[in-house]
Amino acid sequence: MMKSDRILGLVAIVVALAFFASALQIQTSFLADPLGSKPFPIAISVVTLMCGLVMVFRPEPDPEWPSLRTFGALAIALVVLVGYAYSLKPFGFILPTVIASAVLSYQISPRPLPAVLTGLGLGGGLFVIFKYVLKLGLVGWPPTLFG
């Protein structure tokens, strides 16, 4: 069953061509570097196109698909990450990061205490690194919480 590789290869080719077409539409400003901003997305689209062609013309013989449980875990991770992205602005950085990293850590190793500790460590540690070491303008807590 080499159909799955060929289907994914065709999808990659279509995406690469669409990305290439959109990269050609990039307007360069007068403050741009001499090379411009088009070569990088064009290079990404060419590499993606080549990978898609390899998948279409030289597919793997028989891929082993994961179980439904694995797909469920991936779906949960996707929902958590999308929810994380949407919750950053209203709730600040620390709380959504703690919750998201704790849930994802629990999925990797279903032990509640280490998952909570991982979430707390990542939420606080990443905030300190991003805010004070890298000097990013992060809001730690919900803006309404501290006025």
d(CA 107, CA 2): 31
Put simply, whether the predicted model's pTM sits higher than 0.85 gets the answer no
Quote the pLDDT of residue 27: 78
Residue 54 has pLDDT above 80, yes or no: yes
Quote the pLDDT of residue 147: 57
92: left (phi over 0), alpha (psi -120 to 50) or beta: left
Quote the pLDDT of residue 43: 93
d(CA 34, CA 28): 10
Break the chain into its structural domains and give their ranges: 3-57, 68-133
Cβ partners under 8 Å of residue 96, min gap 6: 83, 84, 87, 88
